[in-house]
Structure formats: structure tokens, C-alpha cells
Amino acid sequence: MTVKHPRHPGSYAAFAHASSPGGQDLSQNEDALGDLPTWRLQDLYEARDSASFNTDLKKAAELAQAFETKWKGKLEQAAQASGSEGLGAAIEEFEALEDLAGKLGSFAGLTYFSDTSDPANGKFFGDVQSKLTELSSHLLFFTLELNRIEDAIIDRCLERDTKAAHYAPWLVDLRKDKPYQLEDRLEQLFLEKSMTSAAAFNRLFDETMSELRFEIDGEKLPLERTLNLLQEADEGVRARAAAALSKTFKDNLRVFTLITNTLAKDKEISDRWRGFEDIADSRHLANRVEREVVDALASAVREAYPRLSHRYYAMKAKWLGMEQMNFWDRNAPLPESPKALISWNQARQTVLDAYGNFAPEMADIARRFFDEQWIDAPARPGKAPGAFAHPTVPSAHPYVLVNYLGKPRDVMTLAHELGHGVHQVLAGGQGALMCQTPLTLAETASVFGEMLTFRALLNKTADSKERKAMLAQKVEDMINTVVRQIAFYEFERKVHAARRQGELTAEQIGQLWLSVQTDSLGPSIKISEGYETWWTYIPHFIHSPFYVYAYAFGDCLVNSLYAVYQNAEEGFQQKYFDLLKAGGSKHHSELLAPFGLDATDPGFWSKGLSMIEGLIDELEALEH
């Protein structure tokens, strides 16, 4: 769930893969997978109750109060001064506080997501978030007061104060929030109430999902392992897994419906007070992308449904010997798919080789995640599902979480999250205020890393059946990343629009879900009873409303970027690293210009989608 770092410190932020990799009974496969690493959170702090953590937490609170005393009400004066009394010095202090508080929040979040079933972890996470929110209330004035200073004064400050000039991209970016700022006391109320509103319901969702169990053949499995059974070759296993998922989701519909209604209303209240026009405008602002660009992307993908998902699933149904696939067959393996599990060492080497063939520096950075224990790989009870790369803060290093189960899709997930990790390491040089990349570009390195890994594997494959299975898997991943995520975006739009007319029943939400799924999946997928509840387990809807279109944005962008790479003579790698190192210091238009790409061009999205069509063409050609 890619979340842009909030403007107050200490909040948990993570990047996550769009499709949950699933899970399976690991007891039979531990030897085949090899030794799976767990992360070294001691690089941040030794333990929850360590002296260093408690000292830093106390220090952060004291520094925040001292910062408020020193600078509140004096920023316009500072903008006309220089040196230790100047605005640059104030921003420098603020950034140091962001880094310290972010480190504390990252440790609490990563500890919690290591085992969400441990009540001590939940209490620790909640207590730390509460203290960091209190700390943030002393810093809230800073950005609000900065945005009240006249542009002319800021412009003169940037010419005179070299420290302030360093933060010019951040200041320019910050002023985009100005039209939506509220009076200071209201902003403080929104901040403090977040702990008992959105944050509380986010935690309720996480802990509920962690505790759910799905009964299959007398065995009760957690979500990850049950989802993974949808990728099994045995149709009966897939059907039983789908039935178990549908039953447990239905049994818990009341709580998920309450969470969805509450968060949608909470967002509507915030949007209304801030003056956002469209239900997704706050996300577009956070992403620093124009609504028109996102609308063009969504429109292009919807128009391509027949050429992409409808066409592919018709082919797949034929390969599986079915007239129409059931919804639980969507991610079924082809008969030609390799059955053997891929060991962790094989996955590691596959990704590092692919990265190294593109640029040795990229592989060197990725290798550190393995060598220095920055990855948590085993799927275990209580661990957060799915996968993410968490940037922590520039003074530390990122961490990657995956639930590795040895499937080819898990290797792609590893390549994806390591792409995020490389991006986060490179962008860290921008500092705590400018390292966070907007979501529209946050998926660039991850999807590019997947593409490098896929192409490297495909180039080594001479067997036509294996090649067909690999191409099909890649097409499915791209459909999941582009078509499915835009369908998710359309579903969210419908839910949030309908919620403005009143509270929604579970049946109403289910009907909205089925309407977008029917449109996006097409006639070759049979939508039967039970699937109307499957909206319940998607974490993006809860943690980051309208997040999902960033995946489609990133995939189409990378398709275009990869086409440039294939035709480039020299210099592409350096331009690519410059893009990653920029972090959040530049708009997407500036970062894409060196590659001759423009996301505002109506043809841009068609170019990206045409690569998916090309792979489907190749699959079709293998049939003849």
C-alpha cells in the first residue's frame, strides 16, 4: 500500500505490491525454500523497551516543544534574516525532527507488522503513534505559518539564504497545499482526532484481517495461505479455497461494512472542510498529479478492457479446457507452468543477476538488502500479509517485507519490492523532507525491476511451453496491475460517491463491487455467488483511499520507459538513476522529459497499454 509520507512526522508509511502473493502450508516446503531471512530491526533500536528508544522518544518530544517555542510566530521574520536566525536554519531543524520522529515511528510500525497478533506489539504501536501525534501538534504550526508568508518574501529569501534555497523544491511543493489549509486550531483538532478516527479504524482492519481463519478440509488457514491456494493446479482446491474465503468474508461483513462506511464518511468530512471538489482530489494533490492526467489514464484503461483482460481471459479459458472460467480460476496456473518451488537462493540470484545486467550499481544496492538483513521473508502467523518496502528515514535504511512461498509470482514480488528499496536508498540523499516520491512515480523503480527480471528469465527460456507459461504469467500480472487496479479505482469512486448520499449496506457495496468486476473481467469469467464479498480484504481501500491508480500509472509509465531503454544507445542508465535520486524534489513532467515522455500527452497511456497487447499477441502467435 504505497503511502506518501505524511507532513507530520512519525507516521507509518510503506510501499506495497498491488497483488497479494498468497500463502500455503509451509511445513511441507521449508526444505525446498531454504533459509528465509528475517529483518534486523536492531539497526533502528534494540527492542521495544530499549533505553535508546525511550531516550530518543523523550528527546524528540523535548526538541519539538523547544522548536515551537523558538520559531512559532517568527517565520516571516526569519524569512528576512539569514544564518542561524534565518528560515533555512529553521527548516533544517524541522527536517532533523522529521528524521528522528520518523525513525521512532518506523520501528514501532515494523515491529507491529512483524506480528500483528501480539497484543504487546499492538499496544506499543498504538502508544508510540499517540506520542508522535502529540509531538506533531507542536510542529503543526510550521508548515501552516510558512504558507501564510507572501510569495514575494519567500522568493527574496531563496535568493539570499543558501540554506533555504536548498529546500526550494519542498517550499514550492508545500505551497500547493495552501488553498486547502484550515485555521490552525482546526488543523490541530484534525491531527489529534485522527488517532480516534481513521487511524483507529485502520488498526481495527489490520487486526481483524490478521485474526481471520479460513477452513479448508478441516484445517484453518490464515489469509495469505488461503489466497495462495487460488494459484494451485487442482481446480477442486481452488474452488474450496474460494468457498472458504467467501464464507469467512461474509461472516465478518458487519465489521468491514462499518469500517468502510466510517472511513468514507471521515474522508468526506475532511474533503468538505478543506474544499476539495472531486472525491479523489486530495489523493491527486498528495501525488502531485493533475486530475486530468488520472482521468485520461482511467479512460484509456477502461476502453482497453476488451483488448486486454477480456481477450486474455478468453484465451486462458480455452487453455484450461473451459467455456467460461469461474472467478477463482483467474490466477490458476497453465498446464505448462513449472511445478517446482523456487528456492530463496535461486530467487535472490535471479533478481540480482537481472539488476546487475542493467546496471551493476543497482545490483550492489539490492544485494545489501540480503547481506545486511533488511528483508523479512517467511510467511508466519500474525505477520502482515502481502509485501511492502518501507523507506524508514534517510539516516537509516529501508526494509522489505515479503511472504515468500516459492512461486514464480513471489520472485516477481521480490524484484518489485527490491526496486522500491533501491529507489528509497538512492532518494535518501534528498533528506527527510524531499526523499518521498509521489505515488505516481513511486512505482517506477519497482515495476521496472519486475520488467528487468521478467525479460532476463524470458531471454533464457528456449522451450516454447515454458515461454508460453512465462508470458501468460506476465500478462496476468500486468492485467492485475493495470486493469484490476483501475477497476478498484472505479469501485472506490462509486463507494465514496454513494456514501455521500447515506450509509451503505453490505449488499449495496457488494453490488458496486460486482458491477466493476463484471466490466473489467469480461464474459469469460463467471461471477458467481460469494464473490460479492471480496472487496473486504483489499487493504488499499482502508489505508490509502484512491491509492490504487498509482499501480496502473507506474506500469504504463514503465512500459513506455522500457521501450525507450530497448531503443537507447547509451546514457539511459544514468538518466534512470537521476530520476530515482530526485525523490520528491521534481514534478513528474520534469523527471520524464529527459526520456522524451509526457504523461499529459493523450497518446502516452495508449503507448504503455500497447506493450501488454503485444505480449498477448505473442501468446496468440504461439497457438499457431
For 37-67, write each residue's pLDDT tens digit: 999 999 999 999 999 999 999 999 999 999 9
Q: Is the pLDDT at 7 greater than 80, yes or no?
A: no
The winner for highest mean pLDDT among 7-16, 215-224, 235-244 is 235-244
pLDDT reported for residue 30 = 66
Beta pairing, strands 388-390 & 399-401: antiparallel
pLDDT reported for residue 11 = 32
| Confidence label for 2 from pLDDT (cuts 50, 70 and 90) | very low
Average pLDDT over residues 188-206: 90
Q: Is the pLDDT at 72 greater than 70, yes or no?
A: yes
Average pLDDT over residues 460-471: 84
Expressed in percent and rounded to 5, the helix, strand and coil fractions of the chain are 70, 5, 30
Please indicate whether residue 14 or residue 397 has the higher confidence score (pLDDT).
397
**What Rg do the C-alpha atoms of the chain give, in angstroms?**
24
Q: Is the pLDDT at 12 greater than 50, yes or no?
A: no
Average pLDDT over residues 540-564: 91
| Confidence label for 195 from pLDDT (cuts 50, 70 and 90) | confident
**Average pLDDT of the chain, as a whole number:** 90
| Confidence label for 218 from pLDDT (cuts 50, 70 and 90) | very high
Strands in 279-423 per DSSP E: 325-326, 375-376, 388-390, 399-401
pLDDT reported for residue 506 = 97
pLDDT reported for residue 13 = 36
pLDDT reported for residue 6 = 30
pLDDT digits (tens, 9 = 90+) for 399-420: 999 999 998 889 999 999 999 9
What domains does the chain contain, in order, with CATH numbers? Answer: 40-176 (1.20.140.70), 254-336+469-548 (1.10.1370.20), 344-439+449-462 (no CATH)
pLDDT reported for residue 284 = 94
pLDDT reported for residue 438 = 82
Q: Is the pLDDT at 22 greater than 50, yes or no?
A: no
Grid coordinates of 275 = 474544499
| Confidence label for 439 from pLDDT (cuts 50, 70 and 90) | confident
161: CB partners within 8 A, 6+ apart = 82, 86, 87, 88
Please indicate whether residue 17 or residue 153 has the higher confidence score (pLDDT).
153
Alpha carbon distance 186, 176 (integer Å): 19
Q: Determine what percent of the chain is predicted with pLDDT higher than 90.
A: 75
pLDDT digits (tens, 9 = 90+) for 85-116: 999 999 999 999 999 999 999 999 999 999 99
Q: Is the pLDDT at 304 greater than 90, yes or no?
A: yes
Alpha carbon distance 213, 27 (integer Å): 18
Amino acid at 502: G
Report pTM.
0.83
Beta bridge partners of 326: 526
Cβ atoms of 546 and 525 closer than 8 Å: no
Please indicate whether residue 288 or residue 149 has the higher confidence score (pLDDT).
149
pLDDT reported for residue 385 = 83
Q: Determine what percent of the chain is predicted with pLDDT higher than 70.
A: 95
Beta bridge partners of 375: 400
Q: Is the pLDDT at 154 greater than 50, yes or no?
A: yes
Average pLDDT over residues 333-360: 90
Matching residue, cell 479446457 = 321
By C-alpha distance, which of 199, 206, 207, 209 is closest to 262?
Answer: 199
Average pLDDT over residues 190-204: 90
SS3 of 319-361: the string is HCCCCCEEHHHCCCCCCCCCCCCCCHHHHHHHHHHHHHHHCHH
| Confidence label for 467 from pLDDT (cuts 50, 70 and 90) | confident
Alpha carbon distance 358, 361 (integer Å): 9
Cβ atoms of 557 and 444 closer than 8 Å: yes
pLDDT reported for residue 212 = 94
pLDDT reported for residue 196 = 87
pLDDT reported for residue 258 = 97
Q: Is the pLDDT at 16 greater than 50, yes or no?
A: no
Q: What is the b/e burial string over 434-471, where b = at least 16 CB atoms within 10 angstroms of the residue's CB?
A: bbbbbbbbbbbbbbbbbbbbbbbbeeeeeeeebbbbbb
